[in-house]
């Protein structure tokens, strides 16, 4: 639906009276300028990906008024961010920073605590502060998207020299994605590993600005070259946390490798998964397979065409294998259980060396087929992967969200070794839970250097409460099943953060105790993004906020 | 000298009476077993690298009794470490953990605060807990040296499959070196970036054990595959800090690249430094130059032969260029101002591609000579670099410590972009300060991916107070000069930590304020390694401990 009414009224944060809230909002308007503060008191507007809302999650898993902001504020500078932090400390208002809020599948723009004041950093703080064409680095503000960075590189005529690394959707914020430890698909796909230097506003009542790494040295010319600096490396504690508001981040850029070539293999048997993964592992660790490639289930090749599921099947439960095979066999890809999308980099003769090794190894799997790119129509999904793995932002991936009406999605994202037995175990448990929930299973293995992120996307109709409940149950069951087998999520949806955090339970939750200690030291008033990643400030702890 | 008397007696820590100290040491003996606690009450024994002392720095920059332990304790288990931490909290005794204590050039085994009780973790906790030959990872205790890890890999018959990355000296601890963010010389040379997972005993009075990353998930099988886990990444705050005692660390191992080939180029003119560095930068960022190679000054090619300086020159001040040239011209390397030691990896035809590019580029420098390895005698230093860049630990590098009698050394280690102008600026300032101090200049640029560590080693006679003072002055001046130009050290000696930390001064020392906040939260009693990396616990702050 395009708009959703606010049946529960303006979501004023807990512990603050309506009149006080309106007073402190006036104060905030005085501090920032009235035009930079918006109350969320009308209705929830959805819209599509590129015009996403910043007040809530346009793909709600829970009730649509659960994770919503009371107001949105648009700081225009680091000083503005400091003003907001001081204001929040003074009045004990929970604030929730987003860079752009396109965190779809993990909560979108929504805050964890209903009624938080959302800091939309990206709207006004969206400058590319530098692109260094000699060091292959850049320095960004929160509002710079992968698209914007890519375009600016082209505009400066540097497109032939340097690449960015983009996730499957290019509309997100480089900072937002990286802080949530997102992944892309070139050799620079581990975004967190590729960042260099943060500027952070701390949540304490003096709202101190810290620069990490070499940025702590006044006048340093190495802030983006060397990620560590001297003394403790504190960057990590600002990722997937609620310990600070990042106002600048450095990022490395990939030099043009001097050539590239996408390739695609299909495998007919579902049971090829384990042996294939075992073939991939040594090739990946030794960088013969060079990028964070995706090994996708056949169903995704169909769903990414963007047609609704009802085009193929209208019965209940997961789409049957025969139906899937039948429709797949009519596509350019042909019928298959698994598709591997990869890319080789470098000059032609260097690529040939690697591609030959890969070809010989992959063909050990019965029925393996190498798909000839020249046979792929221009609108085939293959070319989207080609663009992304060569650093060009894209939006094709959005299409599978159309699989069901009012398509929303949420991801199950466990990490495993690149081992056949682990791939099978995770695939089997997902299959079982999907069957129980009557949901189509769409798994993709994103293969990092020594681990894989399995991404299972559950696509659901957000307006159907029953379906939402089934999706949530399916997710929660998979998280628990996986944890029992030793697998944990790399990232999760707002609604599941407490559950996922609780699976990281070694020594009676020692890591969360450490997180809590740091939270209390850095944010004694507990104003910043309470509950994010399962970390609750002292004022909230033990009061049943966990979901 | 082999032994140094303790003229100031047993170094009992500040604020504890002698009788109390002896009482609490008895208690510690009861807790750990008397044989695992040694008082440092006899004399300071030096010894050579492989039998280094653990009570003090055998290469003292300050007075030999400045940085010394009152006692050394040998925990045999994580539980022992916890016992010691609880004991230290109970009695407010400063403790200082070392893995092996071979941190020569940066303080050796010495604690920052005189009279600290040193935890020699490595003596008894020295197991290789796992070597995973499929994932190319290992899990280590603090006492595992680069030699020991290398030997175990050979012993298991895995030498052909996987490599380690070793610093120039192989006797150090993998954990100790990595926590101090040391470097080695294969493509896996950034040790901190290559680690995966820590187990840490926190310094609070409950001595809680935390596992970071996936290790926080009970039963995880990805602790060494995926470095991040869920929520904040806290690993970084345990490197170059005093926030915890690391009892286990995971490390990735490098797959055998299928071939390797060392190469060496010499450049006759001192002034070639800047243009050469500018040639190196794009080759390095694009991985044509693949390893952390060293660009060394000609003098080091002479000094690493291990003969004393007096063999070549007995006059005052730095060795004159003519004398250096004359002696160098008689070596296999020939006369030169700079020597580049690199390595290319992979099968022969892949190496050839890269080596040809490098050769054409390097030959743009007038007088550039490629040295034919087959002309290098077996005992040439070239082969030491060859071993190290292919993962075989070595000790040759120790030889230049013989340059002066009672040879000790201390390093100036600033970070810069890989830019000619930066290399020149740092080289010139070092040269100026060395000339003033009358010290031979031995610079080596260790070229990382987007930055270089310049390592300038000052070799001095530790028994000559005048020389020590000059060395210290020279170092302190270089640190200040460099900071003014925007360069900071990546690591430093105990005696210089306060000075270096103070150069990281952005926004009135905001980073140190953050460090202090974390220190007070994690170690409220201030027992763990007070002063390390310039971080002083509350009990010490503002009492003039800084040097
Ligand atoms: C079809 C589809 C495909 C996708 N594919 C990928 C993929 O390939 N890889 C991938 O990584 N993701 C993927 N996603 C998920 C998501 O779209 C991206 O990760 C996106 O980049 C995240 O949104 P954002 O960048 O706008 O971050 P934001 O929404 O701005 O930030 C994410 C979270 O990080 C925190 N945060 C953000 N900025 C700050 C700050 N400055 N200071 C402090 N905290 C901050 C906040 O808690 C925020 O909620 C996909 C989503 C969809 C729908
Ligand atoms: C000739 C020469 C060449 C050298 N070349 C190199 C080189 O190429 N690269 C390089 O990196 N270094 C080099 N060094 C420096 C040094 O020898 C190595 O870095 C060495 O590995 C450090 O000693 P260690 O590993 O025994 O660490 P340790 O001395 O055990 O540890 C170093 C410090 O880290 C902290 N620490 C150690 N273990 C723990 C723990 N478990 N928990 C908490 N804190 C801990 C302590 O503060 C300790 O003082 C060189 C030195 C010399 C003399």
Residues B174, B322 share a domain: no
CA distance A539 to A203: 15
Confidence (pLDDT) at A192 = 98
- Closest residue of B to A220, CA-based? B486
Residues B11, B145 share a domain: no
Task: Kindly indicate the confidence band of residue A527, based on its pLDDT and cuts at 50, 70 and 90.
Answer: very high
Mean pLDDT of B450-459: 95
Residues A61, A165 share a domain: no
Of the partner residues A241, A485, A511, the one whose CB lies closest to the CB of residue B211:
A511
- Distance (Å) from the alpha carbon of B457 to chain A's nearest alpha carbon: 19
- Distance (Å) from the alpha carbon of B547 to chain A's nearest alpha carbon: 16
Point out the ligand nearest to the CA of residue A403.
Answer: 1
pLDDT tens digits, one per residue of B461-520: 988 999 999 999 999 999 999 999 999 999 999 999 999 999 999 999 999 999 999 999
Residues A266, A231 share a domain: no
Determine whether the interchain pair B192/A233 forms a contact, defined as Cβ–Cβ distance below 8 Å.
yes
In a domain, A499, yes or no: no
C-beta B98 within 6 A of ligand 2:
yes
Q: Considering the candidates B96, B312, B345, B490, report the single residue annotated as catalytic.
A: B490
- Closest residue of B to A192, CA-based? B228
In a domain, B499, yes or no: no
Confidence (pLDDT) at B76 = 98
DSSP-based three-state secondary structure for A174: helix
- Is B147 considered catalytic here? no
- The CA B238 to ligand 2 mean position distance, Å, reads 15
Residues B112, B36 share a domain: yes
Closest ligand 1 atom number to CA of residue A529: 47
Q: Last residue of some domain: B51, B85, B120?
A: B120
Closest ligand 1 atom number to CA of residue A110: 49
Residues A203, A167 share a domain: yes
Q: Please enumerate in sequence order all residues whose Cβ is within 8 A of that of A460, keeping only pairs 6 or more positions apart, or say none.
A: A404, A407, A408, A409, A410, A439, A467, A468, A470, A471
Determine whether the interchain pair B230/A488 forms a contact, defined as Cβ–Cβ distance below 8 Å.
yes
Q: What is the mean pLDDT of chain B?
A: 95
Query: Exposed, middle or buried: residue A257 (CB in 10 Å: 0-12, 13-18, 19+)?
Result: buried
Provide the residue range defining the domain that includes B546. Answer: 504-547
CA distance A112 to A94: 10
Question: What is the DSSP secondary structure assignment for residue A248, as one 8-state letter?
Answer: E
Point out the ligand nearest to the CA of residue B529.
Answer: 2
CA distance B509 to A217: 9
Confidence (pLDDT) at B1 = 65
Mean pLDDT of B359-384: 94
In a domain, A498, yes or no: no
Closest CA to B315 of B414, B440, B197: B440
Beta bridge partners of A118: A72, A96
CA distance B32 to A459: 58
How many domains, in total, are found in chain B?
4
How far from B216 is each of A182, B258, B265, CA to CA, in Å? 20, 35, 48
Confidence (pLDDT) at A7 = 87
Point out the ligand nearest to the CA of residue A182.
Answer: 1
Point out the ligand nearest to the CA of residue B81.
Answer: 2
Q: Last residue of some domain: B79, B104, B120?
A: B120
Domain CATH number, residue B520: 1.10.45.10
Residues A392, A293 share a domain: yes
Domain CATH number, residue A398: 3.40.462.10
In percent, the amount of chain B with pLDDT more than 70 equals 100
Residues B322, B229 share a domain: no
Task: Kindly indicate the confidence band of residue A42, based on its pLDDT and cuts at 50, 70 and 90.
Answer: confident
- Closest residue of B to A285, CA-based? B255
Pocket lining for ligand 1, CB < 6 angstroms: A 97-105, 121, 142, 167-169, 172-173, 175-177, 179-180, 182-183, 245-246, 397-398, 529, 532
> Is the per-residue pLDDT at A149 higher than 70?
yes
CB atoms within 10 A of CB B62: 17
Confidence (pLDDT) at A416 = 97
Domain CATH number, residue B87: 3.30.43.10
DSSP-based three-state secondary structure for B198: strand
A40-54, A463-477, B135-149, B216-230 — which is least confidently predicted? A40-54
Dihedral over Cα of B348, B353, B357, B360: its sign: positive
Determine whether the interchain pair A513/B208 forms a contact, defined as Cβ–Cβ distance below 8 Å.
yes
C-beta B97 within 6 A of ligand 2:
yes
Residue with tokens 């929520």: B231
Q: Considering the candidates A106, A185, A340, A381, report the single residue annotated as catalytic.
A: A106
Question: What is the DSSP secondary structure assignment for residue B36, as one 8-state letter?
Answer: G
**Bridge pairing between strands B195-201 and B260-267:** unpaired
C-beta B53 within 6 A of ligand 2:
no
CB atoms within 10 A of CB A222: 29
C-beta B407 within 6 A of ligand 2:
no
Determine whether the interchain pair A417/B286 forms a contact, defined as Cβ–Cβ distance below 8 Å.
no
Closest CA to B514 of A233, A284, A1: A233
Confidence (pLDDT) at B144 = 98
Residue with tokens 């009308």: A42
Q: Considering the candidates B74, B96, B102, B106, report the single residue annotated as catalytic.
A: B106
Tokens of B472: 């210290």
Angle at B272 between CA B268 and CA B276, to 5 degrees: 115
CA–centroid distance for A537 within its chain? 24
Confidence (pLDDT) at B229 = 96
Confidence (pLDDT) at A34 = 97
Confidence (pLDDT) at B179 = 98
- Distance (Å) from the alpha carbon of B254 to chain A's nearest alpha carbon: 8
Task: Kindly indicate the confidence band of residue A317, based on its pLDDT and cuts at 50, 70 and 90.
Answer: confident
In a domain, A231, yes or no: yes
In a domain, B132, yes or no: yes
CA distance B321 to B335: 11
Concatenating the DSSP letter of every residue in B83-112 gives: HHHHHHHHHT--EEEESS---TTTTTT--S
A376-380, A449-453, B356-360 — which is least confidently predicted? A376-380
Query: Which ipTM was obtained for this model?
Result: 0.97
Q: How many CB pairs under 8 A join A and B?
A: 301
Crossing angle of the two packed helices B273-285 and B348-362, in degrees rounded to 10 = 150
Q: Which of A217, A255, A283, A522 to mutate to test the interface with B (most CBs of B within 10 A)?
A: A217
- Distance (Å) from the alpha carbon of B312 to chain A's nearest alpha carbon: 38
Q: Please enumerate in sequence order all residues whose Cβ is within 8 A of that of A35, keeping only pairs 6 or more positions apart, or say none.
A: none
Q: Which of A180, A391, A443 to mutate to test ligand 1, by most ligand atoms within 8 A of the CB atom?
A: A180
Confidence (pLDDT) at B317 = 85
A42-56, A118-132, A320-334, B453-467 — which is least confidently predicted? A42-56
> Is the per-residue pLDDT at A257 higher than 90?
yes
- The CA A328 to ligand 2 mean position distance, Å, reads 58
CA distance B199 to B127: 14
C-beta B150 within 6 A of ligand 2:
no
Q: Last residue of some domain: B473, B493, B513?
A: B493
Residues A439, A291 share a domain: yes
Task: Kindly indicate the confidence band of residue A198, based on its pLDDT and cuts at 50, 70 and 90.
Answer: very high
Residues A70, A168 share a domain: no
Task: Kindly indicate the confidence band of residue A1, based on its pLDDT and cuts at 50, 70 and 90.
Answer: low
Dihedral over Cα of A475, A476, A481, A484: its sign: positive
**Bridge pairing between strands B338-345 and B128-132:** unpaired
Residues A133, A116 share a domain: no
Closest ligand 2 atom number to CA of residue B494: 49
Closest CA to A393 of A174, A127, A247: A174
- Is B106 considered catalytic here? yes
In a domain, A531, yes or no: yes
CA–centroid distance for A478 within its chain? 19
In a domain, A204, yes or no: yes
Q: Which residues of A touch B523 (CB under 8 A)?
A: none
Confidence (pLDDT) at A545 = 93
* Number of alpha carbons in the 13 Å side-chain half-sphere of residue B167: 22
Query: Exposed, middle or buried: residue B75 (CB in 10 Å: 0-12, 13-18, 19+)?
Result: buried
Determine whether the interchain pair A349/B353 forms a contact, defined as Cβ–Cβ distance below 8 Å.
yes
How far from A409 is each of A320, A460, B61, B243, CA to CA, in Å? 21, 6, 62, 40
- The CA A528 to ligand 2 mean position distance, Å, reads 38
CB A226 within 8 A of CB B256: no
In a domain, B69, yes or no: yes
- Is A185 considered catalytic here? no
In percent, the amount of chain A with pLDDT more than 70 equals 100
CB B172 within 8 A of CB B182: yes
A279-283, A342-346, B54-58 — which is least confidently predicted? B54-58
Mean pLDDT of B172-186: 97
Residues B543, B438 share a domain: no
Q: Which of A47, A102, A176, A247 to mutate to test ligand 1, by most ligand atoms within 8 A of the CB atom?
A: A176
Closest ligand 1 atom number to CA of residue A101: 29
Confidence (pLDDT) at A484 = 97
pLDDT tens digits, one per residue of B12-49: 998 999 999 999 999 999 999 999 999 998 888 887 78
């Amino acid at each position: 639906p395009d708009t959703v009414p606010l049946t529960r009224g303006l979501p004023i944060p807990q512990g603050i009276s309506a009149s006080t809230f309106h007073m402190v909002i006036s104060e905030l308007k005085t501090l920032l300028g009235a035009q930079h503060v918006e109350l969320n008191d009308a209705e929830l507007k959805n819209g599509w990906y590129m015009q996403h809302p910043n007040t809530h999650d346009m793909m709600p898993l829970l009730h649509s008024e659960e994770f919503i902001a009371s107001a949105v504020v648009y700081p225009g500078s680091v000083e503005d961010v400091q003003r907001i932090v001081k204001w929040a400390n003074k009045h004990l208002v929970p604030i929730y920073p987003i860079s752009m809020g396109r965190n779809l599948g993990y909560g979108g723009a929504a805050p964890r605590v209903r009624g938080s004041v959302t800091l939309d950093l990206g709207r006004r703080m969206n400058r590319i502060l530098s692109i260094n064409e000699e060091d292959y680095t850049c320095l960004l503000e929160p509002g710079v998207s992968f698209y914007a960075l890519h375009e600016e590189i082209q505009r400066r005529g540097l497109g032939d020299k340097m690449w960015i690394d983009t996730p499957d959707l290019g509309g997100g914020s480089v900072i937002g994605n990286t802080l949530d430890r997102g992944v892309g698909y070139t050799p620079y796909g581990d975004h967190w590993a590729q960042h260099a230097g943060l500027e952070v506003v701390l949540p304490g009542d003096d709202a101190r600005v810290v620069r990490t790494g070499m940025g702590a040295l006044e006048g340093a010319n190495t802030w983006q070259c060397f990620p560590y600096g001297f003394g403790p490396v504190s960057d990590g504690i600002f990722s997937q946390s609620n310990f600070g508001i990042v106002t600048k981040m450095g990022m490395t850029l990939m030099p043009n490798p001097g050539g590239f070539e996408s390739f695609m293999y299909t495998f007919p048997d579902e049971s090829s998964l384990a042996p294939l993964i075992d073939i991939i592992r040594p090739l990946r660790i030794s960088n013969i397979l060079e990028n964070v490639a995706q090994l996708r289930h056949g169903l995704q090749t169909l769903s990414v065409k963007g047609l609704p599921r009802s085009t193929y099947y209208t019965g209940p439960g997961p789409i049957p294998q025969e139906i899937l095979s039948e429709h797949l066999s009519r596509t350019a890809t042909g019928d298959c259980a698994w598709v591997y999308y990869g890319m080789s980099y470098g000059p032609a003769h260097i690529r040939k060396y690697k591609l030959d090794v890969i070809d010989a190894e992959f063909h050990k799997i019965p029925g393996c087929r190498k798909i000839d790119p020249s046979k792929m129509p221009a609108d085939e999904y293959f070319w989207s992967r080609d663009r992304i793995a060569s650093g060009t932002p894209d939006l094709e991936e959005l299409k599978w969200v159309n699989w069901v009406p009012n398509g929303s999605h949420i991801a199950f994202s466990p990490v495993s070794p690149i081992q056949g037995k682990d791939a099978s175990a995770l695939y089997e448990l997902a299959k079982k839970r999907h069957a129980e929930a009557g949901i189509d299973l769409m798994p993709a293995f994103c293969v990092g250097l020594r681990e894989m992120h399995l991404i299972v996307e559950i696509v659901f109709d957000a307006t159907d409460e029953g379906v939402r409940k089934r999706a949530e149950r399916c997710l929660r069951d998979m998280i628990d099943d996986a944890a029992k087998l030793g697998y944990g999520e790399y990232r999760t949806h707002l609604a599941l953060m407490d559950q996922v955090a609780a699976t990281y339970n070694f020594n009676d939750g020692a890591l969360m105790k450490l997180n809590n200690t740091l939270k209390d030291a850095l944010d004694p008033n507990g104003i910043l993004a309470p509950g994010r990643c399962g970390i609750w400030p002292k004022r909230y702890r033990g009061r049943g906020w966990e979901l």
